[in-house]
Structure 1
Amino acid sequence: MRAYLLTGFGGPEKLEYREDVPDPEPGPGEVRLRVTAAGVNNTDIWTREGAYGDLGAGDPAAWRGALEFPRVQGADLVGWIDRVGAGVPPERVGERVIVDPVLYTGGEAELATSGLLGSERDGGFAELATVPAENAIPVDTTLTDAELASFPTAYQTAYRMVERVALARDETVLITGASGGVGSALVQLAKARGARVVAVVGPGKQEQALRTGADAVLLRDDVPAGESVDVVADVVGGPAFPALLDALRPLGRYVTAGAIAGPLTELDLRKLYLKELTLVGSTVSTHEQFADLVRQIEAGALRPLLAATYPLRDLPRAQADFVAKKFFGKLVITPQE
């Protein structure tokens, strides 16, 4: 099959396009799908760069520890099941599925040690992929496969964030990075809960954020004056962190699932305890939460924000465009083209 292989930690030169990769075969409890669309994410870039390790100690790592090379990246898979492994009903062949990218068994506490497609096992930047059968969720929608591939990682991350802080109707939430995949998903999910959304975006993206559902828009690095929001949903981090805490009302909640602007920041503990703030970390959703997300997609409650598609051979260009951040929504690879 055709696939892009990640051959080691580093820059785009570590991506190798191949047309002779052996077709994967589904093991017991697995299905194989013909991948029709696969979304591009920050995790792809950071995994390639080894950014999840202790860079100061020269110890690069993938999503959850060591990474085996070569690896097919791509966590967001949509496609059609063409083969099943032992123990999987043969009737599943021919199903159109969207794949839950989180790899774990057990309860919610297992999320802390979960793996991810495209990191702990091969993902969707290939013509074929195998996944655990329970991760391949049948989907019934008129959305295109590329539109569906805009959802998995971004929306399940956002879903988990609003769940972790129990965002409620009529609360005001400040969302950073609101033009990106997770940020734009947060806008939609927050509005679906009846919250008032203040979106922070880069120049030229204000109108798009308003069309997505934001009630108000601020330019990057700006925050509301005074203690004016109940919740901050942050995927940016970096030097803006102290100002984001300033924007929270007493008893406010801050939730983070990313650090695009940098993972290290300063925290004034007096601000934390005097305002009785709650700081929450969030990563990926449970299988149950992902299934609920798929039901919302099928019901038309969430709108895909597909910025562009690229054939498999153009994966390096797609990643370069992703890093440049000059788009609104999601970039998607279409391996069958």
Structure 2
Amino acid sequence: MANYQKINVEAKSLSNFKANSDIPAANAQTDRIDETWSGTNEQWWNWYTSLADNSKEPLNQETLIPLNEQVAPQLPSIKELQQELAEPYPISEEQIQQFQTDSYIRIKNILSPGSLSLLRQELKQLFYRHHKLDPNRKFSSMELMWQESDTVKEFVLSKRLGKLAANLLQVSSVRVYHDDFLCKEPGCGRTPWHYDGFHYPIASNNIGTFWIPLQLTPKAMGPLELAKGMELHKLVKEIPFDKFSQSHDHAIREMLQALDIQVDSEPFLLGEVSFQHCLNVHGAGANHTNEQRIAFGISYFENGSRVISSPTLISGDWQKFMPGIQPSEIISSPYNPIVYDLVD
């Protein structure tokens, strides 16, 4: 703990961080975070990724790494996809305990190459239906895509993923929070260190997220960086959050190194996914390749959970994901259906 306290003091005195210009004007008036986010969720992602300290992983747009073209697998029919997603994925007690101790788990062959290719194709079509091509955009994001696509809906509401989430969280019933299309364009920088529970406006720790990469994801492409340990978030919680600079991300990285915390930043195989607890401390590397790094996130929470009493700007446009639900109320909007219930 002595090392951590020293790092915390040093982080406060750093003055060479880039000032943040992505935060909406209404949220830039003070250094407080206990206020409502005034922008869109896309603006939230632009602001949030700007908080990553890339000083130790500098990007050079002229030397992006070319990747070999991947062979496109045969796409499944909708019926074949439904059959795959209806089949339960076997998970052992040992794996459940590993998840509960480490705060995350990586599992291979959750989804077939064909289904992942179909999902990637569908997500890109949906995204570009709403967004123009922009060579200056480095991070592309979009949520609630399952509301617009029957194909995406098959994944988000699947019993295969819902039951697996419930088993790992050790709860009897789960609902969807929301989905995420997360695309790091070539040359996009890091995702800052964080734990999702700091962001979620949900008064429960029984929340987890599947991170599903939609291509082979080598280290150069920026896979997730998952710190091991369910209690690590307590140290991160004590580090002051600065909404204007990269000091928070820098301090967490220094703390992880000083305490010699094990970080899993291995490449992801096609079909391999991670499921991280909302208390897992994680980030993601920069995309040093000439290809898009596309991942799809799906977050589930324990049925019966409530909204926290006072959501902040850290939660972004949270009411977009649970319309009509107010602070302190039980979350049960049409956007948060039950996807698995042990009783059924």
| TM-score, normalisation: structure 1 | 0.28
TM-score of the superposed pair, with normalisation by structure 2: 0.27
Decide which structure has greater strand share. 1
Higher relative contact order (CA 8 A, sep 6+): 2
